[in-house]
Chain A
């Protein structure tokens, strides 16, 4: 059974600081996703990582995937208040064949001035 673990689960940051969220998973998969969820809202797709060594960047967020280590990271650079949200990683349980995503518990990020 695939398990996806995120850490930390809660993260309080000051504006301007850098930090990394980690996502570990227990079985082989080449497909990993990062989503953002604002309170009371839906999930917004941030990154799709489809192969070992994949790195994607959008604004102050950068995601990477190491399939050998079964690890993905979401790096936040110079955080701003607008990044406050809950961030989820999700791994395709079928390794990409089924679309059954197993989600981590989420990292609630709070960026303070």
Chain B
């Protein structure tokens, strides 16, 4: 199936830990994104990335960092996790900056 996939689907961890969420797309898209959806369902873009440019939402703490080993993958690394990081994180991809297709989401719970 062509899609955007994320692993893990659920992630429960302690404060202060470092964790990663993986994202892969097999749609042949050149741009990938990370979004955070909070408990009130509000969606906020964190990063957008193509092979030329990383655009960072300036409100994102530098504990969050995207890493792209290749065009099909954009992983999200989070250092020193805090309670407020608990949310659902969505990866998305698009061709150039057109219609975005979203992954299934990763529910992160920080205890």
- Could you tell me which A residues sit within 8 Å of B by CB distance? 33, 35, 37, 41-45, 48, 86, 88, 90, 92, 94, 96-103, 105-106
Q: Which residue of chain A has its CB nearest to the CB of B93?
A: A99
CA–CA, A97 to B41, complex, Å? 26
Q: Which residue of B lies closest to A44 (CB)?
A: B102
The answer to whether A99 and B41 touch (CB under 8 A), given A42-B90, A42-B102, A42-B104, is no
| B48 CB contacts on chain A under 8 angstroms | 98-100
Most buried by B among A43, A45, A90: A43
Contacts between the two chains (Cβ within 8 Å), count: 58
Asked if A43 contacts B90 (CB within 8 A), the reply is yes
Task: Tell me the bound Cα distance from A71 to B23 in angstroms.
Answer: 33
- What are the interface flags for B67-111 relative to A under an 8 Å C-beta threshold, 1 for contact and 0 otherwise? 000000000000000000000001010101111111111000000
Measured between beta carbons, the chain B residues less than 8 angstroms from A99 are 31, 33, 48, 94, 96-98, 100
